[in-house]
Amino acid sequence: MSANPQWDVSRALGVARLFHLVCGVRDACVTPFLTLYLRQLGLAAPWVGILMGTKHLIAAFWGPFCAFLAKSYQKRRVLLMGSLLGSVGASLLLVLVPPLDRDLRSGSCNASDGATPTAPPPGAALTGTFASNHSPGTVEASGVGKGPAGSVHEPSGHPPGHAVGSVEGARTTSLAVHPGPSGVKAPSREGAFKVGGTALPLLAGGTALGSPANWSAAEGHARALGLSSEGLRWTFFLSLGSMVFWELLTAPLEQVADDSLYEYLDCVDATDRYRSLWVWRLLGMSTGACGIAALAGRLECSLVTNGPRGVLHFYGYSLVSTLAFLVSIAFPVPTCRRREPSYKTVKALSLVAGDPRLTLLALTVFLLGAATSTVQNFLFWHMKDRGSSELVMGFSVALGWLGEVVVHPFRATVLRKLTRVGTVGLGLGCLAGQLLYYAFLWNWWSVLPAQTLSAISSGALGWAVKASVEHLASPGMERPLSAMFQGHFYGGGSSLGSFAGGFVVMSFSLAVLYQACCVGLLLWLALFLSVQRTLPQEQRINYSKLLVVEASDTSDSEPGTERDWLVKAMREEHSG
């Protein structure tokens, strides 16, 4: 078959590895840093949560639908190339969205990017001005004098509206709130510091807004639920439109590419070589996250003089998307078409509803997506509040991805020793421990030790879920069921977690969000293990294995040989 270029398996696998590597670099240029850029635009946590939740929701349902259409009408290569080419321009639409604070266009590169000191979140530097129609409570800050008419005068040498003091000064400035009405005022201009062009309500009870633990919560209160500001409305809705259009173009790419390659290899009976390709994507993502962060730190201020920090990530994404488009021209797409039922998604859903083990596993994956989304959306905010640079952020996520690659050779041993249920429990416990650790970060580098647990909380947990799905699926339903778990259940959970997480951050803080997710996962872990014990032990034969053996040797088999492989298959099934 290798003599026919149409079925050159070695060439097809080489192109697929390169494609996965390039797409990994492409995704890592923007995806880990996207919420950080939205924060630079001036959007608070609830609006960022809505944007990311919408993005996950589109990916969960639009991607599989487009993959089904592309397969039905034999337009996979057209969709691959169109998705990559369209994302080149669609990603740049977000760069055109004006930031809420116009001063970011000129002042974002004034601070040094070396070992970044602890700084207030973007748009949260105290300008030292106070609304003229303020409430009776007064504010005193070190180095700031209280003048007549309730205004706050800055020390000489600072023009009106200029941020007072250095970054460290902003961090250590003490604010004393005199007795006044309890609670937080509504997001009006009254009784508030001006924060990045937005009024920052004063927190009752003497809360220190300069504390890193309160910066994200203060931002959320500053731009709370009302879209009353015209600038905020424009920034939010333009960001929403750009992200929806962008996600509609990019969502089908991964599933269409995976289905095309799998069916290509299936036509030549080489699907066993498909399983190792995910490693190349993770390697590409690790390289892309560290590479774009290093380039942005060194080149962004000299190359991008008009715009918020982070636009270089989108330029890198577009450049790598162009390279991926060139690779997609040679990507293997099957020409043979096998008759398969078109209702596999409905059948997969009926399997989940009819099997209590699959139902329990689906709920676990849904909650896993919700908890993981809080890390993907807001961990970099937490690190930024503690002075982390983008290079450290990129290295932290790369550390987790590389950990998954390193521990993968031990997959069979772990699943055999702990069983699938035990491995799921271990993964959930590790993820809960990570979330609790994130809630108590004390400086910019403290996140790195916890990232090593991603090898278990993401890698081993993923193996166990996939092995359980393949074990519980009926013959021929393994891939549709796995796609449903990865797309609909995990994606739906990520969407819900993003929607809810943003409002929790606004109402409380990032630390409270991570603590709540930790408690929720531990409670679900206890319920998961207790319910698993009540389910009856299953002993069923994997008929697909038996049929493969029977088809390979039907004429020469002897009764003793048949009995041997039948017993072996039953033992494998029982031990799994």
Q: Tens digits of per-residue pLDDT, 184-208?
A: 334 433 333 333 334 333 233 333 3
Instruction: State the CB neighbour count (10 A cutoff) for residue 575.
Output: 8
- Just give the CATH number of 347-536: 1.20.1250.20
Chain centroid, CA 568 distance in Å: 42
| The two structure tokens encoding residue 18 | 């390169």
Q: Is the pLDDT of residue 174 over 80?
A: no
Q: Is the pLDDT of residue 217 over 60?
A: no
Q: Is the pLDDT of residue 479 over 70?
A: yes
The class level of CATH for 9-102+233-331 reads mainly alpha
Q: How far apart are CA 125 and CA 161, in angstroms?
A: 11
- The whole-number pLDDT of residue 109 equals 61
Q: Which residue has the higher pLDDT, 208 or 220?
A: 220
Question: CATH topology of 9-102+233-331 equal to that of 347-536?
Answer: yes
- The whole-number pLDDT of residue 110 equals 55
Q: Is the pLDDT of residue 172 over 70?
A: no
Model's pTM, two decimal places?
0.76
CB 372 within 8 A of CB 497: yes
98 confidence band (pLDDT: 50, 70, 90): confident
Q: What is the rounded average pLDDT for all residues in the chain?
A: 77
Q: How far apart are CA 354 and CA 366, in angstroms?
A: 18
Amino acid type, 395? F
Give Dmax over CA atoms of the chain in angstroms: 103
CA dihedral 373, 374, 380, 385 (to 10 degrees): 170
Domain assignments of the chain as residue spans, ordered by start: 9-102+233-331, 347-536
- The whole-number pLDDT of residue 3 equals 43
- The whole-number pLDDT of residue 193 equals 34
- The whole-number pLDDT of residue 17 equals 94
- The whole-number pLDDT of residue 77 equals 93
